[in-house]
Structure 1
Amino acid sequence: MITGDAAYIKKLNRSSIIRNIIKEGMISRADLSKVTDLTRATISVQVADLLAEGLIVETQLEHNSVGRKPIMLSLNGNAGYALGIDLDSGKISFILSDLLGQPVSTKSVELKTNDYDKILPILIEAIKEFLKSTPESEYGIVGIVIAIHGLVSKDENIHFVPRLDWSNIHLKADLEKEINIPIYIENNANLCSFAERVYQHHETEYLLCTTLYSGIGIGMMMNDEFFRGHDGFAGEAGHMIIVPGGKPCNCGNKGCWEKYASEASIFDHLSSTRKIENLTYDQIQAWIESGDEEVIDLMEQLLYYLSIGLNNLINMYNPDTLVLESELLRIYPDSLEKIKANLSSSTSHYQGLLISPLGKGAVVLGACALAIKNFLDVPMLNFTLENDA
């Protein structure tokens, strides 16, 4: 039994009620009392408060049986919005979602510089445009979460971003001087893992998500919490050395995993050898479908080195679900089966290995979901996308 002062208990009860309303989608007061193990009187008081605040709405269901029509409770998705931002080398991506995590609008801004002092005003201007254009609601934009492809400390300072060559950047503090909305800074792989947990794998307790885009990062959800490590830097598996004395990496080491198994390693190689500056997935897919030997060899090497790193991660963390975030894996035939065939160690145990259906939208969806979670002050969210991200 939970004990404590009245305000603390009320806060816990409110959190439990909101979480279960979201989890069920629609639920009656009576059923809410059962799943939360709270008295009907407590449910009645809390629900009245949430209705007055505009956070939930009532819906009266039609039914054919005799008696009173059931009144169902659901979260009011239109009460506010969340802004998720993916800040990467070359581009900033945005998604505005409602409070049910459904995308409302998207935007991307191309970057022709890695200079922080030039990117900061671009980011501020884009955020202010969203503030102006967001539909009117009770709470407006409830939070902004920005994904960073690098090391983010527990106090949300940016320690290092290899592809942008940023060190010790205080983006959160700089934005708070201009934007009067709660702002959070988080590692991109963590947000991808959060999106997978929120939108896809509602019952997973140990989820490990590996992102392969601009580098390699891993995000780990363990019992609905991020696994961050001592300073918050856990998950930089891309800098695990798999080829001693191998290719030099921006981190200062040689032979890092992401130099051999990230999408960037493929794009960088083909851009260089084929003299193409803005290489696209469609071009690579066309080469794969035509049987281009160089591209096929590069993809097979990627799968080989990817499997080595995944084998290490599986043995270290023993996840029940392992999700791969990669567009190249989606377009390369039988990629998942080939990876599984390479994970043949008798000590490697996992329940599910799959390629994420969320695609590159995972990171910004995860960012929106984290902003909503923080606003509602609940331990976890269970959403389902109405349409593909």
Structure 2
Amino acid sequence: MITGDASYIKKINRSLIIREILREEMISRADLSKITALTRATISAQVADLLEEELVVETQLEHNSVGRKPIMLSLNGHAGYALGIDLDFGQVSFTLSNLLGSPVSSEIIRIHTNNYAEILELLILNITKYQKEFSDSRYGIVGIVVAIHGLVSNDEFIQYVPRFHWKNVNLKSDLEKAVGVEIHLENNANLSSFAERVFIHHETDNLLCTTLYSGIGLGMMMNNKFFRGHDGFAGEIGHMIIVPGGKPCTCGNKGCWEKYASETSVFEYLSETKSISNITYEQIQQWMNEDDSDVYEIMEQFIYYLSIGLNNMINIYNPDVVVIDSELLRIYPDSLHKIHQNLHSQISHYRELTLSTIGKKSCVLGACALAISHFLDVPILNLPYKD
């Protein structure tokens, strides 16, 4: 039984009730009381507050049995919106979702600059646009989260973004001064792991999500919380050395994992082999359909080096679920089976290793979900994923 300050207990109970309403999607007051072990009086009082705040709505179910028709509770997804922003090299993705995490607006803006002031201006312009366009609900935009492909400290200060060459910039403060609302910054891989936990793997407490696109990032959910390390920089797994004295990396070391097992490395190998620049996934898919030996050789090498790093990750963290986010692996035949075949260690333990079904959208959807989590004050959410 939880004891302590009455307002704190009320806050904990409220969070518990909202989480169960989200988990079940529709639930009665009586079932809420059973699941949460809270008294019916507590449930009634809390639900009355949530109804008044328009965060919860009632629906009366139709049924043929004798007796009162049950009144079901569900979260009011239209009470507000969450804005997720994925600030990546070459493009910025904006997704606005309702409070159930369902996207209502998405946009990708190409950028051709690394200049901090220019990108800051673009972000301010678009955030302001969304604030004006979606102010008609009870709460408007309830939160804004920006995904950063680099080092973000525990106090949300950007230490380093490799591909932008940004060092020690306070994007959070600069944005907040301009748009007048709280902004949160988070590492992109962490947000991808959060999306996988929130939308797909609802019953998993310990999850690793490794993203393989422009580099390699690792998002870690341990006991349903981000594992950040001392300064917040944990998860830079792409700079684990797997080939001593190997290819030089922008981080200053040689032989980093992402130089051999990121999608960027595959595209670079193929560009060199084919003497073609700006290769697309569609071209790679076509070459696979044609049984191109160069493509298959490079993909097999990609999977070989990928498996080395995955083996290390699994042995270090002993996760429940490992999610790999890679478009190349999704289009390469039997890729997951090939990875499993390369994981030979008898001491590697995990329950499930799978490819992401969310894909590149996981980062921006994770940003939306984190904004919702902050607003509802529910640390971990269970939301339905609708592709």
**TM-score scaled by length of structure 2:** 0.98
Worse overlay, 291-300 or 249-258: 291-300
- 1:265-284, aligned counterparts within 5 Å? 265-274=265-274, 276-284=276-284
**Structure 2 residue 26 is matched with structure 1 residue 32:** no
**Structure 2 residue 224 is matched with structure 1 residue 224:** yes
How many angstroms apart in 1 are the aligned matches of 2:267 and 2:129?
32
**Structure 2 residue 355 is matched with structure 1 residue 348:** no
Question: Partner of 1:3 in structure 2?
Answer: 3
Question: Partner of 2:251 in structure 1?
Answer: 251
- 1:157-306, aligned counterparts within 5 Å? 157-274=157-274, 276-306=276-306
Matched to 2:155, the amino acid is D
How many angstroms apart in 2 are the aligned matches of 1:122 and 1:168?
20
Question: Partner of 2:84 in structure 1?
Answer: 84
Matched to 2:377, the amino acid is D
User: After superposition, what is the alpha-carbon deviation per residue over 1:239-297, rounded to whole angstroms, capped at 9, x for unaligned?
Assistant: 00000111111111110000000001112333455454433211111122212222222
How many angstroms apart in 1 are the aligned matches of 2:285 and 2:381?
35
How many angstroms apart in 2 are the aligned matches of 1:75 and 1:22?
7
Question: Partner of 2:314 in structure 1?
Answer: 314
Question: Partner of 1:359 in structure 2?
Answer: 359
How many angstroms apart in 1 are the aligned matches of 2:267 and 2:120?
27
Question: Partner of 1:142 in structure 2?
Answer: 142
Question: Partner of 1:69 in structure 2?
Answer: 69
Instruction: Kindly indicate whether the alpha-carbon contact (under 8 Å) linking 2:57 and 2:73 is maintained by their aligned counterparts in 1.
Output: yes
Query: Over aligned residues, Cα RMSD in angstroms?
Result: 1.2
- Shift in Å at residue 215 of structure 1? 0.4
Instruction: Kindly indicate whether the alpha-carbon contact (under 8 Å) linking 2:195 and 2:366 is maintained by their aligned counterparts in 1.
Output: yes
Question: Partner of 1:372 in structure 2?
Answer: 372
Alpha-carbon spacing, 1:106–1:275, altered in 2? closer, same or farther (3 Å): farther
SS of the aligned residue for 2:296 comes to helix
Matched to 1:114, the amino acid is N
5+ residue gaps, structure 1, are none
Question: Partner of 1:335 in structure 2?
Answer: 335
Matched to 1:89, the amino acid is F
Instruction: Kindly indicate whether the alpha-carbon contact (under 8 Å) linking 2:135 and 2:141 is maintained by their aligned counterparts in 1.
Output: no
**Structure 2 residue 98 is matched with structure 1 residue 111:** no
Instruction: Kindly indicate whether the alpha-carbon contact (under 8 Å) linking 1:218 and 1:237 is maintained by their aligned counterparts in 2.
Output: yes
Instruction: Kindly indicate whether the alpha-carbon contact (under 8 Å) linking 1:141 and 1:181 is maintained by their aligned counterparts in 2.
Output: no
Instruction: Kindly indicate whether the alpha-carbon contact (under 8 Å) linking 2:270 and 2:298 is maintained by their aligned counterparts in 1.
Output: no
How many angstroms apart in 2 are the aligned matches of 1:178 and 1:276?
43
Would you identify which runs of 4 or more consecutive aligned residues in structure 1 move more than 6 Å?
A: none
Instruction: Kindly indicate whether the alpha-carbon contact (under 8 Å) linking 1:247 and 1:255 is maintained by their aligned counterparts in 2.
Output: yes
How many angstroms apart in 1 are the aligned matches of 2:277 and 2:134?
35
Worse overlay, 268-277 or 304-313: 268-277
Matched to 2:13, the amino acid is N
Aligned length: 387
5+ residue gaps, structure 2, are none
How many angstroms apart in 1 are the aligned matches of 2:276 and 2:151?
30
Worse overlay, 304-313 or 281-290: 281-290
Matched to 1:130, the amino acid is Y
Matched to 1:350, the amino acid is Y
**TM-score scaled by length of structure 1:** 0.97
How many angstroms apart in 1 are the aligned matches of 2:85 and 2:271?
27
- Shift in Å at residue 183 of structure 1? 1.0
Instruction: Kindly indicate whether the alpha-carbon contact (under 8 Å) linking 2:83 and 2:371 is maintained by their aligned counterparts in 1.
Output: yes
Worse overlay, 40-49 or 277-286: 277-286
How many angstroms apart in 2 are the aligned matches of 1:260 and 1:135?
46
Alpha-carbon spacing, 1:174–1:281, altered in 2? closer, same or farther (3 Å): same
Instruction: Kindly indicate whether the alpha-carbon contact (under 8 Å) linking 2:269 and 2:298 is maintained by their aligned counterparts in 1.
Output: no
- Shift in Å at residue 181 of structure 1? 2.5
SS of the aligned residue for 2:323 comes to strand
Matched to 2:296, the amino acid is I
Instruction: Kindly indicate whether the alpha-carbon contact (under 8 Å) linking 1:198 and 1:369 is maintained by their aligned counterparts in 2.
Output: yes
Instruction: Kindly indicate whether the alpha-carbon contact (under 8 Å) linking 1:224 and 1:380 is maintained by their aligned counterparts in 2.
Output: yes
Identity %: 69
- Shift in Å at residue 162 of structure 1? 1.3
Question: Partner of 1:121 in structure 2?
Answer: 121
SS of the aligned residue for 1:177 comes to helix
Question: Partner of 1:51 in structure 2?
Answer: 51
- Shift in Å at residue 135 of structure 1? 6.2
SS of the aligned residue for 2:179 comes to coil
Instruction: Kindly indicate whether the alpha-carbon contact (under 8 Å) linking 1:142 and 1:182 is maintained by their aligned counterparts in 2.
Output: no
Instruction: Kindly indicate whether the alpha-carbon contact (under 8 Å) linking 2:271 and 2:277 is maintained by their aligned counterparts in 1.
Output: yes
